[in-house]
Amino acid sequence: MSHLTKRFGAQVVVDDISFEVAQGETLVLLGPSGCGKTTLLKTLNRLIEPDGGTIEINGRDVRQQRPEELRRGIGYVIQQVGLLPHLTVAQNVGVVPGLLGHPAAATAARTTELLDRLHLPAARFGAMLPAQLSGGQQQRVGLARALAADPPVILLDEPFGALDPLTRAAVRRDFRELDELRRKTIVLVTHDVQEAFELADRIMLLDRGHIQQLGPPRELLLHPANAFVRSFFAAEHLALRLRVTTLGEVQPFWGAAAPAAGDGLPTLPLTASMQQALDSLLTPEEVAAVAAPKNQPLPAAAEAPADSPGTPAALTVTLPDGSRVALTLPQLLAAFGRAMAAE
């Protein structure tokens, strides 16, 4: 989009913003309340019409199409989900294929596929009404609905904001692990910094209608463009460092590492982040299994760490030459600390 401007009355909400999003990229719009990120998102599918500037998707000006046709080619997920209360789960998911005139059999198959993949078996949930589902389940249906017609672009406006932290993490993980999203261009709005760092290829940090910085998460954290950016990440700096620091960067500091014992431990490459390493040590499944609501199917059982309470947890790291070493948690954390100190 170029020179996008949007005013509400006398207030300039989006001020002369220009940027590009590459195909298959996940761009996260991040910023404090009122910075214009939601407004910006909604100009992409013309729910809000800008006062100035142009938007092009695949080289085509969005204003050339009728809004309805444009939107049927863009997935849209909102915080309050907005499932149609009088339609079943399956009917909700099939809405856009229906609008596009897809054959019913194909739609049904696609619906089943998506629901199953989002851990809501269609056989059981397909005929239910939205009111019978929990918040997390509703948002999974919302995601399925946005993906049903296989749109190349997906817009999400604080999609996990209404969920409790545990559900949020679970749904977010399911979302991240959907294969087909890798080929899609995703623009996601959030004010949750952790979420932005977890999901984004690039982050666009906004404040009061202006772009403060646009770049990969690592760049915003380590090379902030201005004081605003620096202070925006200041509070969670350490947690974010864990996300952007790879095992490869920590490797020089972890000293002697024992060769990997067996296949029982979680295994990660050097490109994995510290956060991923920590996550695999104390897997979300274990956390979720404790707190899962009764009607949510349990995800596939994780590999249990091959240790008992009292002994330190460990993981296996695969080195470039193919060998594998085992690292304990204290080792890992100490290495990280030394790496930070050495900067």
Partner 1 sequence: MLPELLTFWHDQAGKLAHQTEQHIGLTAAALLLGVAVGGPVGVWLTRHPRWRGVVLGAAGVLQTVPSIALLGFLIPFMGIGARPAIVALLLYSLLPIIRNVVAGIEGVPPAVVEAARGLGFTDGQLLRKVELPLALPVIMAGIRTATVINVGVATLAAYVAAGGLGEFIFEGISLNNPVMLLAGAIPSAGLALAFDAGLGALEKLSVQRLRQVGIGLLVALPLLAGAYWLPPLLARPGQVALHAAFSPEFIKREDCLPGLSRTYGLGQLTYDMLAPALVYEALRDGHVEVIDGYSTDGRIRAYGLQVLRDDRHALPPYYCAPVLRPELLRAHPELGPVLDQLSGQLADSAMTLLNYQVDYLHRDPKTVALAWLRRKGLYKAPRPLRPGAPAVRLGSKIFAEQYILIEMYAALIRGNTDLAVETKTGLGGTTICFEALRGGSIDMYPEYTGTGLQVLLQPSAAVLDSLGGRPDAVYSYVQREFGRRYGLAWRAPLGFNNAYCLLMRGQQARELGIGSISGLGKYLGK
Return residues touching partner 1 (CB under 8 A): 45, 47, 68-73, 76, 78, 80-86, 95-96, 99, 142, 145, 155
d(CA 224, CA 142): 35
Nearer to partner 1 among residue 47 and residue 329 (C-beta): 47
Q: Which residues have a Cβ under 8 Å from the Cβ of 277 and sit 6 or more positions away? A: 247, 268, 315, 317, 332
Residue 13 in contact with residue 36, Cβ under 8 Å?
yes
Nearer to partner 1 among residue 37 and residue 243 (C-beta): 37
- Minimum CB separation of residue 206 from partner 1 in Å reads 21
Nearer to partner 1 among residue 92 and residue 212 (C-beta): 92
Nearer to partner 1 among residue 6 and residue 145 (C-beta): 145
Nearer to partner 1 among residue 155 and residue 339 (C-beta): 155
- Minimum CB separation of residue 330 from partner 1 in Å reads 47
Token pair listed for 232: 């925006």
- Whose CA is closest to 222, among 208, 203, 206? 203
Nearer to partner 1 among residue 87 and residue 306 (C-beta): 87
- Minimum CB separation of residue 140 from partner 1 in Å reads 15
- Minimum CB separation of residue 95 from partner 1 in Å reads 6
- Minimum CB separation of residue 31 from partner 1 in Å reads 21
Integer angstrom CA distances of residue 278 from 286, 313, 316, 326, 332: 13, 10, 12, 14, 9
- Minimum CB separation of residue 325 from partner 1 in Å reads 49
Nearer to partner 1 among residue 84 and residue 235 (C-beta): 84
d(CA 239, CA 221): 11
CA 19 centroid distance within chain: 20
Token pair listed for 83: 């499932």
Nearer to partner 1 among residue 80 and residue 246 (C-beta): 80
> Burial code of 85-109, b = ≥16 C-beta within 10 A, e = fewer?
eeebbbbbbbbbbeeeeeeeeebbe
d(CA 182, CA 165): 25
Q: What is the DSSP string of 130-163?
A: GGGS-HHHHHHHHHHHHHTT--SEEEEESTTTTS
Could you give phi then psi for residue 36, rounded to 5 degrees? 100, 5
- Minimum CB separation of residue 132 from partner 1 in Å reads 16
- Minimum CB separation of residue 233 from partner 1 in Å reads 31
The letter for the amino acid at 34 is G
- Minimum CB separation of residue 284 from partner 1 in Å reads 28
CA 47 centroid distance within chain: 22
Nearer to partner 1 among residue 38 and residue 212 (C-beta): 38
